[in-house]
Amino acid sequence: MDTHHMRICIAGAGAIGCTLAARLGGTHGTINVFARGATLRQLQRNGITLHDLDGTHCVRVNASDSAAELGPQDLIFICTKAPALPAILQQIQPLLQPETIVIPVLNGLPWWYFHGTDGRFAGSAIAAIDPSDRLSTLLPDRHLLGAVTFITAHSEAPGIVRCANPHLMILGEIDNRLSERLEQIRTTIEASGIETRATDNIRDQIWTKIIANLTSNPLSVITGATLEQLYGDERLSPLVRQLLDEVLLTAAAYGARVRFDPASIMEMGAGMGAVKTSMLQDFQRGQPLELATIGEAVVELAERAGLQMRTTRHVLALTHFVSERQRAATPPAQPH
């Protein structure tokens, strides 16, 4: 693979997608972005502005709402929210060629979690995410490169993003090989200023991110609390610790090796500062929540392992209630 002339596309121009496009565009040349609506118009007029710890990055991108117009790509980052995944995978089919590498940058459990490995549930689907195997049909495993992204970004406006913490991505093949293409993609991303690591067990990293997401995201919707409040406030942190213990037990049931002890996880969460979770940001914008991948899928795996996750179930039920109440109170959008 000629990484110097690689055709790179970001599918989804939210906070994470714009962060990747801005950083990659600064070192790799023009990045293609698949976007729609007001965001597309903003990107076509003004490009992307990213404010992060390294300063301000202003880049022009080739933005379009037509995958056919963008044409086949060598590397695609899927940066939509999980509820939009079936639609986006259908729309990007013109971007795919036999050797295209696709990196889904998503929160929670991926639909391919049981693909590419041996074991009791090898090859099985996760009903909460992909009950009919539609995602696997739209995106065969040969295209996939697993990723866990630790980027805390928020959109101030379409195409304008701010990040207050360091960027980190961890990449891994879904069959745990340390392949040549894995190293090529790692070095490409690393050159953009994003710390990028390769691993021979991407699922361990997935559980680490799930622990962060599941202990903070749903509860933030119920309470409106920031990360430092969730993990540090004496009224909230005991509940967060209960969630943490449940998800750690589920991760252990699937052989995951989590590097951090519970006290360290709580301390790191509180140290993130007055940051709103991505789910709280989605809730405040009236957008669908990623409860299936972050919550229900984990509960499904717990059930397969004979675990209950009682506190997690209660918090997820409350989050659904709050979200449904908001939707019922919000009048439907009028067509333009």
Dist. CA 165–CA 269, nearest whole Å: 13
User: Do 238 and 142 belong together in one domain?
Assistant: no
Structure tokens at 155: 């959109």
- Structural domain boundaries enclosing 229: 204-327
pLDDT value of position 332? 59
pLDDT value of position 334? 47
CATH number at residue 69: 3.40.50.720
Between the CA of residue 149 and those of 71, 180, 303, 324, what are the distances in Å? Answer: 26, 21, 27, 29
pLDDT value of position 145? 98
CATH number at residue 276: 1.10.1040.10
Radius of gyration of the chain (CA): 19
pLDDT value of position 275? 87
User: Do 174 and 209 belong together in one domain?
Assistant: no
Condensed to tens digits (0 to 9), the pLDDT of residues 157-210 reads 999 999 988 999 999 999 999 999 999 999 999 999 999 999 999 999 999 999
pLDDT value of position 105? 96
pLDDT less than 70: residues of the chain: 1-4, 331-336
User: Do 210 and 192 belong together in one domain?
Assistant: no
Dist. CA 239–CA 262, nearest whole Å: 13
Catalytic residue set: 209
User: Do 179 and 275 belong together in one domain?
Assistant: no
User: Do 10 and 136 belong together in one domain?
Assistant: yes
Question: Does residue 334 lie within any of the structural domains?
Answer: no
Check if the beta carbon of residue 83 is closer than 8 Å to that of residue 50: no
Question: Does residue 261 lie within any of the structural domains?
Answer: yes
pLDDT value of position 248? 97
Look at residues 200, 220, 243 and tell me which one is the last residue of a structural domain: 200
